Structure 1
Amino acid sequence: MRELKFLNQFFWKYRWRMLLGIAFICISNYFSVLQPQVIREALDLVVEQVNNYRMYDGFTTVGDTYFGILSTTLMFFAGLVLLLALLMGFFLYLTRQTIIVMSRLIEYDLREVIFDHYQELSLDFYKRNNTGDLMSRITEDVNKVRMYLGPAVMYLANLVSTILLVVISMLAVSTKLTLYTLIPLPLLAISIYYVSNLIHTRSTFIQQQLSKLTSIAQEVFSGVRVVKSYVRERQQVRYFAEESETYKRMSMDLAKIDAWFFPLMVFMVGASTIITVYVGGLQVVAGNISAGNIAEFVIYVNMLTWPVTAIGWIASIVQQAAASQKRINEFLETKASIVDPAPTEREALRGEIVFENVGFTYPDTGIRAIRDLSFTLRPGEKLAIIGRTGSGKTTVADLLVRMYDVSTGRILIDGKDIRERGLANLRQRIGLVPQDVFLFSDTIHNNIAFGAQHDPSREEVEQFARHAAVYEDIAGLTQGFDTLVGERGVTLSGGQKQRVSIARALIKRPDIVILDDCLSAVDTNTEQQILGYFNQALADKTAIIITHRIYGHLRFDKIIVLEDGGIAEMGTHEELMANGAYYSEIVERQMAEEVGK
């Protein structure tokens, strides 16, 4: 139960629903307990009338009178039992409308809490954990927890109230018979305790294996192009089947343990019934109780069948919920490595950027990506960052939007350390087009509008699509801007996805623009259109363009060549050409390629 303490806040939030539901359960069980008493009265009446009839044996008129009275009385008792059953059912309905609805509301709240926390966590968290495991905890694990929040609570309240009401009613009739009837229950409690521990342990492993299955399926479906192009379908099927077989075996073992519960409950209840009939019969002979009391006790014992059976079921649910909540708590207790110091900040950025001896090492791999990087950009200046693969170019972009914090040194924007700036405001003011383009499985219009801080009109979306030189491509599609791009934008070409991503960044109207190699899949003519807009729209904005190639249509105030995370060259185009080093080699090679075309 230690792991489930986190859920107490939700019980408190919906306490009135829960208390009302428990009250309805008690009322329902009260009417349920009255039924055996009515049946006892009816049976005693029948026995009494039969004995009286024997006294008047041979008197037809008197016998008919007795049978008429008996028939009328039994119909009254039957109607009373039916009325009690209807009342019991009505309050049971109200119980489900309160407690089960409460569990659904808590399920909704819990998923919101988990999802919000996921979004607050930093990028390093997502590199350590796979998507399938994240999905499993917010779906399968929450489902397991909901069974504890609703059905388990409802049946536990039903169990407690039923046992209390039934035992009190039984004690009112015969203390001795009650004690004999309840003898099997301690043995049942010990058995449940032992089996519950087994269920808890195995449920944890089953949920972990289910997360692994979800991860495998998610990766295969996301990378289905690679799987098909390498003809690895059969291999993936075999791998998934092996892991599924492991999950099936673990689930079957758990099912075998669960299978012991019901026969064990039935055996114990059957033993109680036999004891009731035997000891009760002796009590009737002794004149301590009536025959109707035996029938009453037998019904009571059978009324205890489901609550007693539910002990094991509830224990199983609680154990599984505890295992699932433990997995949920592991992530909820994870703290974001990037802290927002000023959530309410709304300050615009002028665009001055200063790197002071910045060093950065990736926390998950220990790779040193940046070392002693220093440069200054004044507001409105343009910077190009060039370098070989793995030289740290993308890391510079990630550090500027605080996907990570620097390991050493500091980054200043407008003279203020970015670690002291509001995180949300910082990212809203910077338009980043990442190297790894991601589009949502939605319409093109919504993908572009996603970047805006307001709800943009269709005309505004189309305007920025023109700026990104993708309007004509979109207009040529059957449904235009209402075209669904598919998962990760699979229906669009690489160049189209890049340009949609550019439009999404520009519609933010950012103060600082960072383009991370986002024109690699764009042809020369389209590149000229985009850069032409950049020359106009970015004239007064600070811009950093990370690239493998040189854009002759865009004038840079400063160019940095990175190598192994440090600055190998820095200066203007003319200065770097005069150096005759790596930068000049790139320019000459690029010019030779363009001449060759």
Structure 2
Amino acid sequence: MLSKLKFLLRYTHRYKWWYTGGFLFLGLTIWTSVTIPEYIQKSIDIISQGETGNREDFYNYVLIILGMALVLILIRTLSRVLIFVPGRLIEKQLKGEMFRKLSFFGKDYYDSNSTGSIISRINNDINGVRMITGFGLLQTGNILFSLSLTPYKMWNLSPALTLYCIAPMIIIFILVRIGMVIMVKNTHRRMDTLQQLSGKTISFLSGNGVIKSYNIHKWAEQEVEKENTSLFNYTLKITWVRSFIIPLLANLEQVLKIVVLFVGGMYVIEGKFTIGQLTEYIAYSALLTHPIMGLGWVLTVFQQGFVGISSIQTIMGRKGQDEDKKHLPVSNQRQLFDKGIHLRDLTYTYHNGEHPELKNISFSIKPGQVVGITGKVGSGKTTLINLLNGYLRPEKGQLYMGDKDVTDLTASDIRSVVKTVTQEVFLFSDTIKNNVIFGSEQAESTNDFTDVIYKSAFADELTRFPKQAETLVGEKGIMLSGGQKQRISLARALYAPCKLLILDDVFSAVDTDTERFLIKQIFENHPSESLVIVSNRTSVLEKTDFTVVLENGEIETIGNHKELLKRSDFYRETWELQK
């Protein structure tokens, strides 16, 4: 609990003057609310006097009530604005910080947390924090001011009647507290289930094509229904508790009215109270019930919000792989590749693996070179390029950019030098042009859009689209074929020049003529200072300066096309088959 309060204080402290102003106006709101009944009492007592009453005083009291009501509207509005706005600002700030935090996490985090659960935390859990820092704090202040000023006014009128009113309030509060304990348990379970449901929903929607092709709709529906039913059951249990608590709180005002009318009525008959004082007391009892009713909502908001904070803290408290590192100055970033990249006995084991995926890999990539990487499926090609582009991090002393150990560099520093076009292409639900120029805002220079479209063999197909470059590609590029998506991804890499461009099997989804054209453009125009091409197509590899052949995570051999035909059985068999 203490850590959650510190978490809230860290964010609310930044908007202390907003909250100070909000609580000041809130205090004035409550003071005005408890002052109005005094003038109502005086007005009614004048009315009860009949003709002997002072008309001028009556008119004055009515005008005072009207003026205070107008002031009440203004200061109540200001109190809400000054308290609700920081809640929204904190929500905005938290979402930005969580996104930045998530961008620092490595592969191990995303392997153990589904996309759905992460999205659920960003949306649902942060909404809980917003409710606490907005509505929750407003109602807390409202309750504190009301339960201090209103009982004081009631006590001044009649201590005994005030004690009669407190008794049912205590009983109802105890029952509400018991209900809150049950709600908290089910709220925890509901949030866990909601994260699992979000994860499965996103997974099944992304894999909709597979579900259709294997005709497993029923299984997918049953899996979603299972989580949905659990979510429904926990939500229903929370609703049952609320349906018990809310009527108790809602009818508290009626209970107090009965007590006040009965006991206060006896006081009027006995001459201890005037009609005006009884009316004033009834007004106070109504003012008292609103914060008590609000107490139930506040407890619900804080309980759900604290559950959300626990979930948020699992992200905010986790350390990213680059958090403690400083970015290199831009001038130093430009010099990172001046002496090339050097691998020295590189060995890498995944965080959830038992055996090394790569073992004793040693070679260098110098500026101006074109390097090929090939090998059987599972030989470690993708792992190797993910180490080169900073997605995975090796142990210290195994991978260098010039004289800099990559473990001392941030991912941003590495990717200022290295770009990768992967075989798993991702396109945003935007236009073709925006997908190509994406990420080029920070680039020192850019190539011509038309030129990179031509070099990526997409120019002819672009003219067939009605809106051409402004054509929307759909969710994840669903409107395009695999080959079209690969070529747009290649155009994106060519648009902003870099020092080292890694092409991971980018020819796998294109036909032979397109492949031949792409090879010509890449090798003749050199879109970057150096190239690393991952492929099993010997028509590509025979043009490289040298090619690394991997076998079971180790280097089988290194050499140019002629040398590999003599040294590598895999390379020679592949060449003969493709020839």
What TM bracket, shorter-length normalisation? over 0.9
Amino acid of the structure 2 residue aligned with 1:495: G
Q: Does residue 9 in structure 1 map to residue 33 in structure 2?
A: no
Instruction: Give the residue type in structure 1 aligned to 2:562.
Output: E
AA paired with 1:344? L
Matched, 1:177 2:178: no
**Counterpart of 2:315?**
331
Q: Deviations over 1:376-416 (max 9, x none)?
A: 23322222111111110001111012211114750112232
Q: Aligned residue for 2:376?
A: 388
Q: Which residue of 1 aligns with 2:432?
A: 444
Are the structure 2 counterparts of residues 280 and 516 from structure 1 closer, same or farther at C-alpha, using a change threshold of 3 Å? same
Pairs within 5 Å for 1:528-567 = 528-538=516-526, 541-552=529-540, 555-567=543-555
Residue 62 of structure 1 is matched in structure 2 by: none
Match of 1:104 in 2: 88
Letter in 1 for 2:178: Y
The aligned counterpart of 2:563 is: 575
Give the superposed CA RMSD: 2.4
Which secondary structure state, in structure 2, belongs to the residue aligned with residue 260 of structure 1?
A: helix
Query: What is the Cα deviation at residue 283 of structure 1?
Result: 4.1
Partner residue, 1:129? 113
1:54 aligned residue:
none
Q: Of 354, 365, 370, which residue of structure 1 is paired with 2:358?
A: 370
Shift of 1:517: 0.8
For 1:243, which of 208, 227, 250 is the aligned residue? 227
> 2:261 maps to what in 1?
277
Q: Name the CA distance, whole Å, in 1 between partners of 2:226 and 2:58.
A: 64
Alignment of 1:182-581 (within 5 A): 182-284=166-268, 287-338=271-322, 341-346=325-330, 347-348=333-334, 349-350=337-338, 352-407=340-395, 410-454=398-442, 460-538=448-526, 541-552=529-540, 555-579=543-567, 581=569
How many Å apart are 1:308 and its aligned residue?
Answer: 0.4
Corresponding residue of 2:21 = 20
Is the 1:99–1:150 contact (alpha carbons within 8 Å) kept by the matching residues of 2? yes
Deviation, structure 1 residue 508: 2.4
**Distance (Å, rounded) in 2 between the aligned partners of 1:524 and 1:359:** 36
Counterparts in 2 of 1:37 and 1:552: CA distance versus 1, 3 Å: closer
Cα distance, 1:271 vs. partner? 3.9
Count of residues paired in the alignment: 574
CA–CA distance in 1 between the matches of 2:324 and 2:564?
39
What is the rounded CA distance, in whole Å, between the counterparts of 1:540 and 1:97 in structure 2?
Answer: 54
Q: Which residue of 2 aligns with 1:114?
A: 98
Q: Is the 8 A contact 1:145 1:325 kept in 2?
A: yes
The structural deviation recorded for 1:176 is 2.9
Question: 2:131 pairs with 136, 147, 160, which one?
Answer: 147
Match of 2:40 in 1: 39
For 1:255 and 1:351, the matched residues in 2 are separated by 66
Secondary structure of 2:348's counterpart equals strand
Structure 2 CA distance, aligned partners of 1:553 and 1:273? 89
**Cα distance in 2, alignment partners of residues 113 and 569 from structure 1:** 46
SS at match of 2:548: strand
Distance, in Å, in 2 between the alignment partners of 1:338 and 1:455 is 22
Query: Bigger shift: 253-262 or 547-556?
Result: 547-556
Equivalent in the alignment of 1:95: 79
Q: CA deviation at 1:241?
A: 2.4
SS in 1 for 2:547: strand
Higher alpha-carbon deviation: 173-182 or 117-126: 173-182
Deviations 1:164-196 (A, max 9, x none): 221121222233332332233333333333222
In the alignment, the residues of structure 2 paired with residue 344 and residue 407 of structure 1 have an alpha-carbon distance, to the nearest angstrom, of 20
Mapped to 2, the partners of 1:198 and 1:89 lie a distance apart of 38
Equivalent AA in structure 2 for residue 29 of structure 1: I
More displaced 10-residue stretch of structure 1: 556-565 or 276-285 = 276-285
In 1, Cα distance between equivalents of 2:540 and 2:391: 31
- Deviation string for 1:300-331 (max 9, x for gaps)? 11111111011111001100011011111111
Q: Which residue of 1 aligns with 2:146?
A: 162
Does the CA contact (< 8 Å) of 1:122 and 1:338 recur in 2? no
For residues 453 and 389 of structure 1, what CA distance do their matches in structure 2 show? 36
Cα separation, 1, equivalents of 2:352 and 2:20: 47
In the TM superposition, residue 453 of structure 1 has moved relative to its aligned partner by: 4.2
Residue 586 of structure 1: aligned partner: 574
Q: Is the 8 A contact 2:360 2:554 kept in 1?
A: yes
Does the CA-based 8 Å contact 1:431-1:506 persist in structure 2?
Answer: no
Structure 2: 5+ residue stretches without partners: none
Matched to 1:390, the amino acid is G
Aligned equivalents of 1:79, 1:238: Cα separation in 2:
67
User: 1:575 deviation in Å?
Assistant: 1.5
Read off the aligned partner of 1:502 and give its amino acid letter.
Answer: L
Cα distance in 2 for residues equivalent to 1:359 and 1:93: 64
Equivalent residue letter for 1:178: T
Alpha-carbon distance change, 521 to 91 in structure 1, aligned in 2, over 3 angstroms: same
Of 521-530 and 336-345, more deviation after overlay is shown by: 336-345
The Cα offsets for residues 281-314 of structure 1, whole Å up to 9 and x where unpaired, read as: 4544555443322221122111111110111110
How many angstroms does 1:367 deviate by? Answer: 5.0
Between 352-361 and 223-232, the greater mean CA deviation after superposition = 223-232
Contact residue 420 and residue 504 of structure 2 kept, 8 A: yes
Deviation string 1:322-342 (CA, Å, 9 cap, x unpaired) is 101111111111212355633
Pair 1:586–1:133, CA change in 2 (3 A): same
1:275 and 1:253 mapped to 2: Cα distance? Answer: 33
Q: Give the whole-Å Cα distance in 2 for the aligned partners of 1:551 and 1:402.
A: 29
Secondary structure class of the residue paired with 1:293? helix
| 551-560 vs 473-482, greater mean Cα deviation | 551-560
Deviation at 1:539, TM superposition (A): 8.6
Q: Which residue of 2 aligns with 1:52?
A: none
| Percentage of identical aligned residues | 29
- For residues 83 and 288 of structure 1, what CA distance do their matches in structure 2 show? 31
**CA contact 2:547–2:558 (8 Å) conserved in 1:** yes
CA contact (8 A) 2:430 2:473 kept: yes
Distance 1:553 1:279 in 2: 98
Task: Tell me, in whole angstroms, the C-alpha distance in 2 between the residues paired with 1:43 and 1:469.
Answer: 89
1:366 and 1:19 mapped to 2: Cα distance?
56
The alpha carbon displacement at 1:144 in A equals 2.2
Consecutive unaligned residues of structure 1, counting only runs of 5 or more, are: 50-65, 592-597
Q: What is the one-letter code of the residue matched to 1:465? A: I
Cα deviation 1:330-382 (Å, max 9, x = unaligned): 11112123556331332222252221111111103445311111122332222
2:104–2:323 Cα contact (<8 Å) kept: no
